[in-house]
Homo-oligomer: A and B are copies of this chain.
C-alpha cells in the first residue's frame, strides 16, 4: 500500500483528465469542462469517453490510459458502478490524484458502501489519492481549476488567501456567488464522502501552502480527533483554523451518521478539544463564509480594544453589545484623539463615534469622514475598528472608493465594515469594491464586530502557541 501525502497533485494539477458523459448538458463531464474553460483553467484538459471523439473542439480519448500525455488529476463523473474500473485505469496511467464526483456510494445504500470500499482498495494499491466520492471537488483560484459539474453563470474568482474546506457542496462555485462577492479565495475543497482524503490530509497540506493564510473548515465528523487536534495545534501557530462543526443535537448526529456514513462524537468534547488546540469554532454557515475574510485582508489586532465609527447612534449601541459579547472592550479614546475629533465636532468625542449628524450632508461626507477614521487609526488606545456606513451616503461612489483605498493603505489596524443602504445593488457594488481594496464588509452588523473579536482572540492564541 502506497500513500502520497502531498495534495499538490490535486490543487496544482496541470494536466487534467475529465472522465464522464459529454452530452451537451451542464451536469456531467460536459459541465466540468465548461467550467474549466469558463474559469480560464491554465492547464490542459483531456476529455475521456469511449463513445465520443471530440468535445468542445478538444480530442476525447476512449480511456484515460490512452491519453498520450501524463495526467496529474482525474475528475471522474461516470455512473458509480463503472468507477472502480476507471480508478483502476487511473492507477495504470500512474495518476496520483482523482476526484470522484459521482454519487451512489456510501451516502446511498449498502451496495454503495461496498463500491466505495472497492475504489479505496484499488486506489491505495496504485498510490492514487481520492477526493470524494459524492463531491463537487475543488477550486484553485490561481489556475482557474474549478471542478464543479454544475452551472455557475460567472467566470472569475478573486484570488486571495482563504481556503475553505467542507463536507458539503454548499461551499462551491455553483452555490456561492463568488464573483459577485469578490471574496479573496485561495482554494476550496468539498470532501464529499471522505473515502480517502480527509481533514487531516488537507490541514497538513494547507499548513505548508504559502497561498493559504486562513483555513475555514466545515466538518461533520473528524476521523481521528486526537491526531487532528495535534496537527491543528501546530498549524494554529502559523495561521488561523476556523471550524464550523454541526452536530449540536442528537438529531443532527443521527442524520450525519446516515448522510456521511460516519459517527460524530459528543459535541462538548469537540468544543473543549477545539479550544485546547487553538481552533476557533464558528456558529453559522454565514459566519463560516464571512468571518475568514478578516484574516485574509486585515492585520492582526495587537489587543482587544475596539472603536466603533457609526452613522447612527442606534447602530453604535448594538455594536457595543456585540463587542462585549465577543470579547472586545469599547475603549475610551485617547485625549489626543478627543482633541482632534472635537475640532471637527464636539459630538464626535466619544466611542462609539456617531458621525451621522456631522456627515448627514452628503457633500461633506468624505472630507469629514476621512479625518475621523485617520485619527482613530492613530489612537494608541484603539486596536481595531468597525465602521457602520450607508451605501446611500457614498453617492459619489468613485470618490468614496478612493478614500477607502487611502484609508486601507495607511491602516495598520484591522477594520471591518457594515453597510446599510436603500438599494441592494448599490450596497453590493460598494461591498465588492471594498472587498477588492481589502476592507471586508459583513452582512450582519453583529458579525462585522464578531470578526474583530475572533481576530483579537486568534492573536492572543497565536502568541501563546508560538512559545
Q: In the complex, how many residues of chain A place their beta carbon closer than 8 angstroms to a beta carbon of chain B?
A: 79
Residues in B neighbouring A246, C-beta threshold 8 A: 314, 317-318, 320-321
- Give per-residue flags for A166-181: 1 if the beta carbon is below 8 A from chain B beta carbons, else 0: 1111100111111011
Interface residue? A152 (CB, 8 A)? yes
Q: Are B258 and A350 in contact (CB under 8 A)?
A: yes
Contact A313/B427 with A151-B395, A249-B321, A347-B108 known, Cβ cut-off 8 Å: no
Q: Are A150 and B392 in contact (CB under 8 A)?
A: yes
Interface residue? A414 (CB, 8 A)? no
In the complex, what distance in Å separates the CA atom of A428 from the CA atom of B177? 12
Residues in B neighbouring A249, C-beta threshold 8 A: 320-321, 323-325
| Segment with Cβ contacts to B, from A58-66, A202-210, A356-364 | A356-364
Taking a contact as CB atoms closer than 8 A, the residue among B107, B315, B422 that contacts A154 in the complex is B422
Interface residue? A342 (CB, 8 A)? no
Residue of B nearest to A248 (CB): B321
Interface residue? A234 (CB, 8 A)? no
In the complex, what distance in Å separates the CA atom of A357 from the CA atom of B427? 35
Q: Are B177 and A255 in contact (CB under 8 A)?
A: no
In the complex, what distance in Å separates the CA atom of A107 from the CA atom of B103? 61
Q: Are A284 and B176 in contact (CB under 8 A)?
A: no
* Nearest CB of chain B from residue A344's CB, rounded to whole Å: 15
Q: Are A312 and B170 in contact (CB under 8 A)?
A: yes
Residues in B neighbouring A369, C-beta threshold 8 A: none
Interface residue? A143 (CB, 8 A)? no
Taking a contact as CB atoms closer than 8 A, the residue among B167, B173, B444 that contacts A284 in the complex is B444
* Nearest CB of chain B from residue A105's CB, rounded to whole Å: 11
In the complex, what distance in Å separates the CA atom of A356 from the CA atom of B169? 10
Q: Are A312 and B151 in contact (CB under 8 A)?
A: no
Residue of B nearest to A283 (CB): B446
In the complex, what distance in Å separates the CA atom of A41 from the CA atom of B209? 60
- Give per-residue flags for A232-244: 1 if the beta carbon is below 8 A from chain B beta carbons, else 0: 0000000000000
Interface residue? A132 (CB, 8 A)? no
Residues in B neighbouring A218, C-beta threshold 8 A: 314
Q: Are A315 and B170 in contact (CB under 8 A)?
A: yes
Interface residue? A334 (CB, 8 A)? no
In the complex, what distance in Å separates the CA atom of A354 from the CA atom of B424? 31
Residue of B nearest to A432 (CB): B424
27 A-B pairs with C-beta separation under 8 A: A27-B360, A150-B392, A151-B395, A153-B392, A153-B422, A153-B423, A154-B423, A166-B314, A168-B313, A174-B392, A175-B420, A177-B423, A181-B424, A246-B314, A246-B317, A247-B321, A248-B324, A249-B324, A252-B317, A252-B321, A255-B316, A255-B330, A256-B317, A259-B317, A285-B318, A285-B445, A286-B446
Add 6 more A-B contacts to A285-B315, A286-B443, A425-B425 (CB < 8 A). A27-B362, A175-B390, A247-B317, A247-B321, A284-B446, A286-B444
B-contacting residues of A (Cβ < 8 Å)?
A: 26-27, 103, 107-109, 150-154, 166-170, 173-178, 180-181, 218, 220, 246-249, 251-252, 255-256, 258-260, 284-286, 312-318, 320-321, 323-325, 330, 346-347, 350, 352, 354, 356-357, 360-362, 390, 392, 395, 420-428, 443-446
